[in-house]
Structure 1
Amino acid sequence: MGSALGPAFDTEALRRGIEGHSAAALLSLYADDAEVRVVDHNTQPSHPMVKHGRGEIADMLNDVYSRDMTHKLEQCVVDGNHVAYTESCQYPDGVKVLASSMMSLRDGKIVDHTLLQAWDE
């Protein structure tokens, strides 16, 4: 006896949001109680930046996707209630950023998102 599948995660909405610089489109993929953890040179693993709920996540996404830079979804893998993807970005001055994300889903919405990012210095 099979089990019913929940709503599917919309990978094309993820691509459109990232590559179209649409914080609103990306925010629509998150559950109300989602949490995002960011680890990078400034917010290292023992003290990551943590955003709780759609309000704080919206502020972060609005900041990132309002910047003058390109964003490209490189790879995206969905396996049940988990999504992994890489995103490459570039500022007009040539500085590059590479980000890798692992996300957990509930009912097709992101509930937990860990983002690792590095950039040219």
Structure 2
Amino acid sequence: MGTTARPAFDTEALRRGIEEHTTATLASLYADNAEIRIVDHNTRPSTPKVLHGRDEITMMLDDVYGRDMTHKLEQCVVQGDQVAFTESCRYPGGERVLAESMMTLRDGKIVDQLMIQAWDE
């Protein structure tokens, strides 16, 4: 009896998409029905911002990665169907943003993501 390999999550595509500001690459990592919950000082844990589906997620990615700033994937850990990563960002004036994400995968695609972010003000 053989085993069927599950599709692997493409961590290099995650890195390229983040660091090269390639929204299409990042959007391709999400399942059609994916959901992102975002927690920060504007959207508290009891009322996070929730994005439903790849189209809403792509609009958010276009906004974030269309800004004049650098993005870097600092760490990424994959364990089974779970992925955690840290992303650091910097605006030209030196202001920084730090985001931590925990994601659940199905068939190698992101189906659920919780992002907690903080930034300089």
* Interval containing the TM-score (normalised by the shorter chain): over 0.9
1:109 alignment partner in structure 2: 109
SS at match of 1:16: helix
Shift of 1:22: 0.8
CA distance in 1, matches of 2:20, 2:41: 26
Q: In the alignment, which residue of structure 2 is the partner of 1:50?
A: 50
| TM-score normalized with structure 2 length | 0.97
Unaligned runs of 5+ in 1: none
Runs of 4+ in 1 over 2 A off after TM superposition: 1-5
CA distance in 2, matches of 1:21, 1:80: 27
Q: Which runs of 5+ in 2 are unaligned?
A: none
Q: How many residues are paired up?
A: 121
Aligned position for 2:6: 6
Cα distance in 2 for partners of 1:4, 1:80 equals: 14
Q: Which amino acid aligns with 1:21?
A: H
Displacement of 1:5 after TM fit? 2.7
Give SS of 1:58's match. helix
Instruction: Flag the 1:72–1:35 CA change in 2: closer, same or farther, 3 A.
Output: same
CA distance in structure 2 between the aligned counterparts of 1:92 and 1:52, rounded to whole angstroms? 31
Q: Structure 2 counterpart of 1:95, which letter?
A: E
What is the 5 A alignment of 1:27-106?
27-106=27-106
Give CA-to-partner distance per residue, 1:12-56, whole Å, 9 cap, x none: 000000000011110000000000000001111011000000110
Q: TM-score, normalised by structure 1?
A: 0.97
Percent identity over paired residues: 71
Separation in structure 1 between the aligned mates of residue 95 and residue 82 of structure 2, nearest angstrom: 30
SS of corresponding position for 1:83? strand
Task: Give the letter for the 1:41 counterpart.
Answer: H
